[in-house]
Amino acid sequence: MNDLITMQVIRYASEQVADEMGYTLVRTGRSTIITEIKDISCVVTDAKGQTVAQAHHTPSLLAGFEITMKELVKEYRPEDLSPGDVIITNDPYKGGQHIMDLYAIAPAFFQGELIGFVGNITHHSDLGGVAAGGVAGGIREIYLEGLRLPMIKLMKAGVEDKEIVGIIENQIRVPEKTLGDIRAQVSSLMVGTERLNRLFTRYGKTVIQTAWNDLLDYSERRMRQGLMDLPDGVYTAEDFIDDDGINDTPIRVDIKLTIDGDRAVIDLTDCDPQAEGNTNSTIANTHAAIYYVMIAVVDPHAPPNSGCYRPIEVITKKGTIADPLPPGAVAARTNASQKIAEGMFFALSKAVPERVTAGSHGQITTCGFGGKDPKTGQLFIYTDIQGGGNGGRPHQDGADGQDSHLPRFMNTPVEAVESRFPVRIERYEFIPDSGGAGKYRGSLALRRDIRLLTGPVSFARYSDRQKFPPKGLFDGLPGACGRILRNPGTKEEERMKSKGLDTLQAGDVISLQVPGAGGYGDPKDRDLDAIDRDLRDQKVTVEAVERDYGVVVDRASMTVDRAATEKARPQAA
């Protein structure tokens, strides 16, 4: 920590390199999952593979780099690498997330010496496997989930390996999209290595390497100081995944969190054994959930890098839902990792009630529609991810219409979807009463209804919180469960499994209704003006308000009747 001023200067410059890589990836990508949703992440690491800077995208994709880079520096010694090399992998059992998330990593050189790596990870529309989009639930084996690539050099000294491209091309449904997206990843890396080289030219090797080390130490120090502010103790929590898409039994996530001075130990060994279906959380994904919550609670403004992770020890047992063994399938992993994050918040709520949120939607509703586009005669794959809201917070409601926790995705605009895919979106709106009541209300659930204009179309998806609702905290009430309906409001209305792979026909409507989020604090303590606003905005119904908040609503003005309420709820005055 010699020079914290130089450290800040180098930090901003390194973050800039990562941001620029993210920008390039979005601008040159082809699938809407990159260009609209932005399901990507970009990092700069030092020569040991420690993350020193990340772009402002998805935190959940990040911790995987830590593990992937450890594997990478084991497999490739510096002398095995040359400028212009690009290594790709998506192996969930080597730091990967799931098959659809492909890492691309390039070594960066300065004056002939390896000085670090730049990396990105991107969710692809297709990398083969049993279901278009690769997001089917209820899959038993990793082999069915797509093309599992070990660490391989896609580019050698700037030249694309035709044989590898040929293998990939043969396994995928929409090669022009996927290969275009992979090349966007390469572009982003080329920009990254070039900018990093420029940075080294500007400041010199020693200055940057010292600053990077200082930066990692600095983040570690901030986390340790933050941990000191948390009361020592052992805090536990549990949460449940509805099912694994095959067996109709809940799967338990068990958190034992120990705060001990300036360190934390998170023990997950008592989590349920790994599932037969693909709700298993790979180790990278498990770490991501834990690191996210720890940074968010302990020091949300610490520079997010490998230093933050040093005071945190994660203990898992192989063969559990939090650390599965091959050939376990993993695509629906976010059902588990979001529960780990939820459990972490609930465990920490006992230590620092003012620094946590009530239960969020606690899953990620992800679906892929695949079929033939009648206009072009070509295959199409429409992958869509639905955002979900936050629970009530210590001093705020959960923000309606704003995604929460691990991802930082965007939605796909209706006009972007309909311009590209043979579907029509018939509604995209809030579901009233879906936010759990509380002193601070949980955010409302979102509903998106999609009509297919062609058929047959495969419908792969995973989602959760359809049996165990988003939890309320400190007497806050739970939020609404999610559901997926086929042809809602018709005689054929059918509730579909939360995780699965089905075939739909032209004209079918799929209604994706994500879960709401839990309330924070006793509903009886809610500000009456806030209830009035929710009534005015039709975010809640009169019946629900009277039931959950114990108030009396004047039907003429549709506002809380203060006098009548005082009788019913004396403390409200």
Sheet of 423-431: strand order equals 423-431, 445-452, 509-513, 483-486, 494-495
Q: With CB under 8 A as the contact rule, which of the stretches 70-78, 257-265, 271-279, 405-413 interacts with another protein?
A: 405-413
CB of 285 to another protein, least distance (A): 17
Q: What is the C-alpha to C-alpha distance for residues 51 and 11, in angstroms, rounded to an integer?
A: 12
Q: Distance (Å, rounded) from C-alpha 141 to C-alpha 287?
A: 22
- Cβ–Cβ < 8 Å for 477, 523: yes
CB-nearer residue toward another protein: 320 or 411: 411
- Burial class of residue 418, CB neighbours in 10 A (0-12, 13-18, 19+): middle
Residues in CB range of 417: below 8 A, 6 or more apart: 32, 382, 384, 423, 425
Radius of gyration for the alpha carbons in the chain, expressed in angstroms and rounded? 24
CA 351-56-49 angle, to 5 degrees, is 85
Q: Which residue's CB is nearer to another protein, number 82 or number 187?
A: 187
Q: Name residues whose C-beta falls within 8 Å of residue 303's C-beta, 6 or more positions apart in sequence.
A: 11, 53, 215, 218, 219
Does residue 13 interact with another protein by CB under 8 A?
Answer: yes
Any alpha helices (H) in 229-313, and if so which ranges?
Answer: 283-298, 306-309
Number of CB atoms found within 10 A of residue 84's CB: 17
Provide, rounded to whole angstroms, the least separation between the CB of residue 143 and another protein: 30
> What is the closest distance, in whole angstroms, from the C-beta atom of residue 507 to another protein in the complex?
14
* 103, 109, 110, 430: which one binds another protein (CB under 8 A): 430
Cis amide prior to 422 (ω within 30 degrees):
no
24 binds another protein (CB under 8 A): yes
Question: Judged by CB under 8 A, does residue 28 bind another protein?
Answer: yes
**Residues between 43 and 82 with contacts to another protein, criterion CB under 8 A:** 56, 59
Whichever of 19 and 546 has its CB closer to another protein, that residue is 19
The residue (of 54 and 280) whose beta carbon lies closer to another protein is: 54
Please list the residues that pair with 503 across neighbouring strands.
Answer: 458
Query: Could you tell me which residues are beta bridge partners of residue 109?
Result: 114
Q: ω before 150 within 30° of 0 (cis)?
A: no
Site string for another protein, 283-312 (x = CB under 8 A): ---------x--xx--xxxx-x--------
- Only one of the segments 279-287, 389-397, 480-488, 496-504 lies at the binding site for another protein (rule: CB under 8 A); that segment is 389-397
Contact by Cβ (8 Å): 1, 214: yes
Q: Length of the chain in residues, anyone?
A: 573
Question: Rule CB under 8 A: is residue 157 a binding residue for another protein?
Answer: no
Residue 350 binds another protein, judged by CB under 8 A: no
Residue 383 as a binder of another protein (CB under 8 A): the answer is no
Stretch 462-501: interaction string toward another protein, x if CB under 8 A = ----------------------------------------
DSSP assignment letter at 369 = E
- Binding another protein (rule: CB under 8 A), the pick from 249, 428, 467, 487 is 428
Nearest CA to 279 among 342, 317, 338, 334? Answer: 334
Q: What single-letter DSSP state applies at residue 194?
A: H
Selected binder of another protein within 410, 528, 530, 542 (CB under 8 A): 410
Residue 441 found at the interface with another protein (CB under 8 A): no
**Of the ranges 236-244, 274-282, 330-338, 404-412, which one interacts with another protein (CB under 8 A)?**
404-412
67/196 with CB nearer another protein: 196
Residue pointed to by tokens 């020890």? 313
Residue 247-286 contact track with another protein, rule CB under 8 A, x = bound:
----------------------------------------
* Piece of 17-25, 71-79, 117-125, 253-261 that binds another protein (CB under 8 A): 17-25
Closest distance between another protein and the C-beta of residue 430, in Å? 5
Q: Is 538 in the site for another protein (CB under 8 A)?
A: yes
Binding of residue 159 to another protein (CB under 8 A) = no
Residue type, 230: L
Interface characters, 166-195, with another protein (x: CB under 8 A): ----------xx--x--x--xx--xx--xx
Output phi, psi for 558, to 5 deg: 55, 40
20 is an interface residue for another protein by CB under 8 A: yes
Beta carbon nearer to another protein, 4 or 157: 4
The one among 47, 130, 165, 399 contacting another protein by CB under 8 A: 399
For the chain, the helix, strand and coil percentages under 3-state DSSP, each to the nearest 5: 35, 25, 40
Is 439 near another protein (CB under 8 A)?
Answer: no
- Smallest separation (angstroms) from another protein to the CB of 243: 26
Segment 203-232, which members bind another protein (CB under 8 A)? 218-219, 221-222, 225-226
Using CA atoms, how far residue 220 sits from 206, 214, 302, 348, in Å, is: 21, 10, 9, 20
Residue 70, SS3 per DSSP? helix
CA 397 to CA 395: how far, in whole Å? Answer: 7
Token pair of 57 as six digits: 């995208």
Contacts of 46 (CB under 8 A, 6+ apart): 52, 115, 116, 209, 212, 213
Using CB under 8 A as the binding rule, the residues of this chain from 504 to 523 that contact another protein are: none
408, 388, 391, 315: which is closest to 353 by C-alpha?
A: 391
Minimal distance, residue 277 CB to another protein, in Å: 27
Residue 251 CB, nearest distance to another protein (Å)? 26
The site that binds another protein (CB under 8 A) totals a number of residues, namely: 87
Q: Does 101 bind another protein (CB under 8 A)?
A: no
